[in-house]
Amino acid sequence: MNTIGRVFRVSIYGESHGPSLGVLVDGVPAGLPLSAEDFAEDLARRRSGQPGTTARREQDTPMFKSGIFNGRSTGAPLMVQFDNRDVDSSPYESTKTLPRPGHADWTAWQKFRGFNDYRGGGHFSGRLTAGLVAAGIIAKKIIAPATVNASVLEVGGSRDYEPLIREALAAGDSLGGVVECRVRQLPAGLGEPFFDPLESLISHIVFAIPAIKGIEFGAGFAAARMRGSEMNDNIIDQSGTTATNNAGGINGGISNGNEIVFRIAVKPASSIALRQQTIDLRTGQPAEIQVRGRHDAAIALRVPVVLEAATAIALADALLILKTVNP
């Protein structure tokens, strides 16, 4: 369903080519200072403009529809809306019965029995992440002084990836990447054993970001090849500091006060300019499709700010819940 969180609750709505999209945030403590400027930086980071990212230009001006009064949160549900302006749906009409490989076109058509808004991916569009980023800005304020920082580790398998991107753009192809996220100064105690470990809460929301195919915490998949004697992090002081951080800051599903570290795998954008095989939903016959429109060559580049937002949302909820038993 379209809501996440137990006490800090975030609901997403909108479509890529509909009139608006946005986010409804409930459980925001009253009195939090919130202004348009607070939203500017992260929304700008999310917005297109880097080499390898789509040409669609949206102002992404956040409109505060509720929950803010005199520059502060009121404690009532907080609605942030974005209008869609730079919309060109024409490329989608001719191919609306040709589900694009790698996209949600076929599954959306199947699940919603053909009633889904297919234009620009509709509700499945990466554009929806604008709402996620807006909620993340609020969440970051709630978890302060803890900080969340994500960065691209590699694109196309390389840490020096700009030439690869140019090459992929020229070829009409796209590249995947790996993004890492680090949370500092998070108190110990967040997360619950069975069934809300911190890894569960983070991965749940992270896999809602389009194009994510994997997540690993601390040593992650490398842990599968380690011995217990290598993997275990020795505890070196009373505050729980560990000599190493193979656990990624989480033991038994609960934050241990060390840095939270995890990485995610971002697949290459599904929209490519090359010819691909699909079927025509109308006729059931095989067909070729060549996706036009405006797309990213390396969506991994735009993921960090979205990943930060998603992480902050999960942490804000866990932190507020911790206060119910440990105020």
d(CA 316, CA 9): 10
Within 8 A by CB and 6+ apart from 83, the residues are 19, 20, 61, 63
Determine, following the binding rule CB under 8 A, whether residue 243 of this chain makes contact with its own copies.
yes
Contacts with 52 (C-beta within 8 Å, 6 or more apart), sequence order: 165, 168, 169, 175, 296, 297, 298, 301
Integer CA distances (angstroms), 159 to 45, 53, 60, 266, in order: 20, 18, 30, 14
Element (H, E) at 321: helix 303-325
Minimum Å gap between C-beta 220 and its own copies is 4
**Residue 20 or 41 having the CB closest to its own copies:** 20
Residue of 207, 177, 157, 174 whose CA lies nearest to 307: 207
87, 184, 253, 294: which one binds its own copies (CB under 8 A): 253
CA angle 214, 254, 321 (to 5 degrees): 105
Please check whether residue 295 is in contact with residue 269, taking contact to mean a CB–CB distance below 8 angstroms: yes
- 54 sits near its own copies (criterion: CB under 8 A): no
Residues in 110-169 that interact with its own copies by CB under 8 A: 110-117, 122-124, 128, 154, 156-157, 168
Kindly identify the residues of this chain, within the stretch 28-47, that bind its own copies according to CB under 8 A.
Answer: 29-31
Q: How far apart are CA 289 and CA 134, in angstroms?
A: 35
Q: Which of 74, 89, 147, 245 binds its own copies (CB under 8 A)?
A: 74
Q: Is the dihedral of CA 22, 27, 28, 30 positive or negative?
A: positive
Span of 40-48, 51-59, 94-102, 143-151 interacting with its own copies by CB under 8 A = 94-102
In this structure, which amino acid lies at residue 1? M
Kindly indicate which of the ranges 43-51, 86-94, 143-151, 266-274 contains the residues binding its own copies, using the contact rule CB under 8 A. 266-274
- 308 belongs to the binding site for its own copies (CB under 8 A): no
Which residues in the 195-214 window bind its own copies by CB under 8 A?
195-197, 199-201, 203-208, 210, 212-214
Indicate whether 259 belongs to the interface with its own copies (CB under 8 A): no
Instruction: Return the axis-axis angle of helices 198-206 and 303-325, rounded to nearest 10°.
Output: 140
Provide the minimum distance between the beta carbon of 100 and its own copies in the complex, in angstroms, as a whole number.
8
Instruction: Identify which range of 2-10, 40-48, 50-58, 85-93 contacts its own copies by CB under 8 A.
Output: 2-10
Choice between 57 and 213, CB closer to its own copies: 213
Nearer to its own copies, 41 or 162 (CB): 162
Q: How far is the CB of 300 from its own copies (least distance, A)?
A: 8
Among 48, 54, 278, 311, binds its own copies (CB under 8 A): 278
